[in-house]
Amino acid sequence: MVKILEHIFEELNTVPNFPDTALRALKMLEDENINFEDLAKVIRYDATITANFLKLVNSAYIGLRRKVESLTQAFALLGINQIRFFLVAACAGQYLKRTLHGYNLSPYEVWLHSLGSGVFAELIAEKVKAKHPDYIFTAALLHDIGKLVLDLFVGGELEVIKDLVKDEGLTFMEAEIMVLGTDHAVVGAELLRRWGFPKETIFAVRAHHDEDWMVQNQTAAIVALSNMLTNLLGIGMGSDGLSYRVPPKLLKVAGIKDRELFSLIAEGYQRFQNLKNNLLANSAR
Ligand SMILES: [Fe+2]
Ligand SMILES: [Fe+2]
């Protein structure tokens, strides 16, 4: 197992850095008096991020009356939180749109799962007026990024992991730890640390399957809940499926009342479907 673990951490070195452009832009967005002209100048440098950003904005559920053609136009219509959300989503695609063989997931499913969690996180953050929406979006969109690295190792061991889940009643992640010596939350958090993300974002990724840690703060709780709801709706689950447990305190720490949950699921699902359908339509055009 030690050998596998060594390989896993070596493999982390081969994952390309999170785009500098996006990190710089996120830093600028910490300032409430940000100058959007300056922000556009930074993001424009990266043609892929700019194109993805505009595609996402034009696909979203924010009721735009006409097509947005430029960053400056987009910034004039969006709030700071929406800019953050679309910016991280625009970058996440390049990491997540690949097949995860070990987890039985197609690139499209991985991307949808990430977007679905992001959409739920955005909705919940809005509803509960979360203190740190910026940390929440990044963590929700990238929460399973560790699967990207672990996937290389899960493949051969998938049957063993699945048997442990089925026969021993372990969660998928407990089985990951038994077989690989680590899990996708730990590896994902380490990637985010290397990329220079804030501690609270890293913690939320680390905690998204840990029943004790996910209720330590609101950011972690919202990220974990968003992931669960996305799984519950069957959005890009793959082989780890529903083998997770929900701690009773989770809703409370996230700031959601029991009776609000159904309408939250319905609204999140609607938002997600709109975004997905529009993205598909925009890609086909
Ligand atoms: Fe996960
Ligand atoms: Fe997930």
Are 247 and 214 in contact, with CB atoms under 8 Å apart?
A: yes
pLDDT exceeds 80 at position 225 = yes
Residues 166-187: what's their mean pLDDT? Answer: 87
Q: How far apart are CA 180 and CA 195, in angstroms?
A: 23
CA-to-CA dists, residue 107 to 96, 112, 261, angstroms: 7, 9, 29
Domains and CATH numbers, the chain: 2-17+82-284 (1.10.3210)
In this predicted structure, what is the pLDDT of residue 14?
85
Are 40 and 71 in contact, with CB atoms under 8 Å apart?
A: yes
Calculate the average pLDDT of the chain: 88
**What are the structure tokens assigned to 227, written together?**
């992931």
Report the separation in Å between the CA atom of 241 and the middle of ligand 1, taken as the mean of its atom positions. Answer: 10
pTM: 0.89
Q: How far apart are CA 48 and CA 45, in angstroms?
A: 9
Starting from the CA of residue 232, give the closest ligand.
Answer: 2
Report the separation in Å between the CA atom of 160 and the middle of ligand 1, taken as the mean of its atom positions. Answer: 19
Starting from the CA of residue 113, give the closest ligand.
Answer: 2
Report the separation in Å between the CA atom of 248 and the middle of ligand 2, taken as the mean of its atom positions. Answer: 19
Q: How far apart are CA 113 and CA 93, in angstroms?
A: 11
Are 223 and 125 in contact, with CB atoms under 8 Å apart?
A: no
Dihedral, CA of residue 68, residue 85, residue 19 and residue 183, to nearest 10? -150
In this predicted structure, what is the pLDDT of residue 187?
93
Q: How far apart are CA 221 and CA 112, in angstroms?
A: 21
* Residue 37 or 281, more confident: 37
pLDDT tens, 42-87? 999 899 999 999 999 998 866 667 889 999 999 998 989 999 999 9
Starting from the CA of residue 237, give the closest ligand.
Answer: 2
Starting from the CA of residue 140, give the closest ligand.
Answer: 2
Type of residue at 186: V
CB atoms within 10 A of CB 166: 11
Starting from the CA of residue 231, give the closest ligand.
Answer: 2
Report the separation in Å between the CA atom of 227 and the middle of ligand 2, taken as the mean of its atom positions. Answer: 5
Contacting residues for 165 by C-beta, under 8 A, at least 6 apart = 171, 172, 175, 243
